[in-house]
Structure 1
């Protein structure tokens, strides 16, 4: 069965003629939704019979389409170049290939009539454009359905991103919130038979509708203790993560600071303790935040001793934030970030600059040590004699 199509647009330009025969070619008569645009243009200025645009939704039959193509090709160059794709897409690769072919024909002064179409439409490309460098203007065929699908896809993407931002773990003493904890991911690992076994605790701790068990937690003005209770973690029926924090006045800085003194893992009557006071700290009125807090790979959590069971465990937080004092409402205070002012890049720049300054200083010093001659031969006077001694 012959293909049928819809004639969308036909234009003549004062520049070298470009004709856009934008039809929707139906490849399968039983599936009329599979329509492919067809674009036709020429390299020369030609005079074509006027063609009134059809009404919206008009379907051009096979004979009508064939008749128009015959009239167009009769008046245009007889060298026909067909660009046929498996799926009609508009991208840099297709435009580059077409440009190379037509540039070669233009260099050799070969007139042509070009047709661009495909065997089937693209699900993602509902618009098609032709670069003006191919010999004429640029036409953009857009579909309302495509724009609506793009808006729906963008809306779903924003909803997905919003869903990933969940509330922190919140412990209240009475009606007041005193401890907040948040992390993008939380996992623990144990070393067994020479290999690490991992367990992800993120879904059990954070997320919409998740309420971790916090019994055993407590807080006052100087101490805070947050206990996360789990079950069946890496073969242990009872498993706890305990954050022990204190705040005190440091006379050197004349302000109060809080520290994460210890992160404890309690499981089936055994306790593993990580010391975090040396790295996890912030002013008492701030929260503490760090992109990565772990007991391995640049560890901020260190086992309390070489014989502590913590040496058999790994703990990892990603995008970690905690506040144990001076919490106002259910939101974190200003975050004191663990990233230092002097990053590796800054140090590299400073060391390179210092090296260049040292080289420049040495060069200037050598130049200043140069001495010029202070005596010269007088052609009218006696020659200068330089005594040579053994």
Structure 2
């Protein structure tokens, strides 16, 4: 018994180390972990190196070897979302093991005849895993829960794919740890029901999609330079994209797209909503991005590109920005300062229609004369998108000689002039050519009466 206990502890420790080892991965691709254990023996799988992402093809080859021959009963625990961080945060790896949210899962791994851990599995879509197991076993999944499973008759002479859906904490009134603890209890109840029927099984625990994704742009496929300045975390919103025949054509991102219909009115941040872009269009010379929001708001970004012989290259300009609301339209010209080479994107920390701003009102309508726009951390590209999903090198609106740089240059010039003047004065100093000799006759100065 002591040897068996030691072996199970080593297997659990190996599982946790594999999960922790992959945390050093620098890949930004979406991935989910996969745990597989069985009451029977499984073919061996080489431990992946830290940072390695197992492809779907590699998993298919292994599942074919493990489940391809003979009837199998497969329990597929499919959680809405799952990532490696869920094990490290809620699994008690860095804290008290008694505080783990995966007691039943860890017990199942310890007591199983064999288990396989895939810390980083390539994720390609929400429907990829059910389809993969369905194709491997040749049967359709049967949706079950612990209550229905206890009354279900399992025919062990054929393949069975039992699907158990598990929720995640997104949108739930419970904390993530409480939701994972409830899921762990469901896993324990299902395994107990299967063991009570004395049915040999193979269990898989994975996620429909990752719960946390860290995006890192690769510099190998594009020029190094300024691009979308966004925090790499799960909550970063995706850019607005318009596709033509499945190919990205226009891309826009902004931290805030604030509009106000009066000079003293409340600002409305349209970036908090998901717009409709179905009225947009683009071709090789003109692009029009139309963003339609709830509440009757509509933003139109009209762009064009043309060849300039002086620079010998194509440039694109944001010709106009239109805001429609309450059956009125305000138009603003942006060509004066919103431009970039055609193969670049345009980025600016603030784009507005205030005094000395980039957007110039060209409407004389009194109803829209007080309308205001303010786009924060604004980036747009209407032509030649880089590899389909990323902005190209960003041409920033900030000039090289900013006010701070000019102040520093003028102050340095003034100090240099003072130094040169002082040095010139020192170099002009001369010594006397005659001195009073105390050993010789004294110099007499006649005094007049």
With the length of structure 2 as denominator, give the TM-score of the two structures. Answer: 0.45
Cα offset for 1:254?
2.1
Q: SS at the partner of 1:216?
A: coil
Say if 1:303 and 1:310, in contact at 8 Å, map to a contact too.
Answer: no
Structure 2 residue 221 is the aligned partner of structure 1 residue 162: no
Over 3 Å counting, the alpha-carbon distance change for 1:303 and 1:384 in structure 2 is farther
Structure 1 equivalent of residue 189 of structure 2: none
Structure 2 residue 352 is the aligned partner of structure 1 residue 294: yes
CA distance in 2, matches of 1:165, 1:290: 18
Structure 2 residue 307 is the aligned partner of structure 1 residue 249: yes
Structure 1 equivalent of residue 245 of structure 2: 174
Cα offset for 1:311?
3.4
Over 3 Å counting, the alpha-carbon distance change for 1:145 and 1:308 in structure 2 is farther
Q: Which runs of 5+ in 1 are unaligned?
A: 1-141, 206-211, 233-237
Over 3 Å counting, the alpha-carbon distance change for 1:175 and 1:161 in structure 2 is closer
CA distance in 2, matches of 1:298, 1:279: 11
Deviations 1:35-80 (A, max 9, x none): xxxxxxxxxxxxxxxxxxxxxxxxxxxxxxxxxxxxxxxxxxxxxx
Cα offset for 1:243?
0.3
Cα offset for 1:357?
0.6
Structure 2 residue 270 is the aligned partner of structure 1 residue 201: yes
Structure 2 residue 428 is the aligned partner of structure 1 residue 359: no
Structure 2 residue 277 is the aligned partner of structure 1 residue 214: yes
Deviations 1:90-149 (A, max 9, x none): xxxxxxxxxxxxxxxxxxxxxxxxxxxxxxxxxxxxxxxxxxxxxxxxxxxx8556899x
With the length of structure 1 as denominator, give the TM-score of the two structures. Answer: 0.51
Over 3 Å counting, the alpha-carbon distance change for 1:363 and 1:222 in structure 2 is same
Q: SS at the partner of 1:260?
A: strand
Cα offset for 1:180?
0.7
Say if 2:322 and 2:332, in contact at 8 Å, map to a contact too.
Answer: yes
Deviations 1:232-274 (A, max 9, x none): 2xxxxx3321101111222332222111111111234432111
Over 3 Å counting, the alpha-carbon distance change for 1:384 and 1:249 in structure 2 is farther
Over 3 Å counting, the alpha-carbon distance change for 1:299 and 1:385 in structure 2 is farther
Deviations 1:158-214 (A, max 9, x none): 8897332232211123343211111122221111xx621222212223xxxxxx222
Cα offset for 1:279?
2.0
Say if 1:273 and 1:309, in contact at 8 Å, map to a contact too.
Answer: no
Q: SS at the partner of 1:356?
A: helix
Over 3 Å counting, the alpha-carbon distance change for 1:373 and 1:327 in structure 2 is same
> RMSD of the alignment, in Å?
3.8
Structure 2 equivalent of residue 228 of structure 1: 291
- Bigger Cα displacement from structure 2, 303-312 vs 337-346: 303-312
CA distance in 1, matches of 2:429, 2:232: 68
Structure 2 residue 405 is the aligned partner of structure 1 residue 333: no
Between structures 1 and 2, the one with greater helix share: 2
Say if 2:212 and 2:234, in contact at 8 Å, map to a contact too.
Answer: no
Structure 2 residue 321 is the aligned partner of structure 1 residue 258: no
Q: What pairs with 1:61-210 in structure 2 (closer than 5 Å)?
A: 143-144=96-97, 162-191=233-262, 195-205=264-274
Say if 2:330 and 2:363, in contact at 8 Å, map to a contact too.
Answer: no
Equivalent residues, number: 233
Cα offset for 1:364?
1.1
* Structure 2 counterpart of 1:314, from 363, 368, 372: 372
- Bigger Cα displacement from structure 2, 195-204 vs 318-327: 195-204
Deviations 1:4-49 (A, max 9, x none): xxxxxxxxxxxxxxxxxxxxxxxxxxxxxxxxxxxxxxxxxxxxxx
Structure 2 residue 443 is the aligned partner of structure 1 residue 374: no
Between structures 1 and 2, the one with greater strand share: 1
Structure number with bigger Rg: 1
Structure with the larger RCO, 1 or 2 (CA within 8 Å, 6+ apart) = 2
Over 3 Å counting, the alpha-carbon distance change for 1:158 and 1:327 in structure 2 is closer
Structure 2 equivalent of residue 88 of structure 1: none
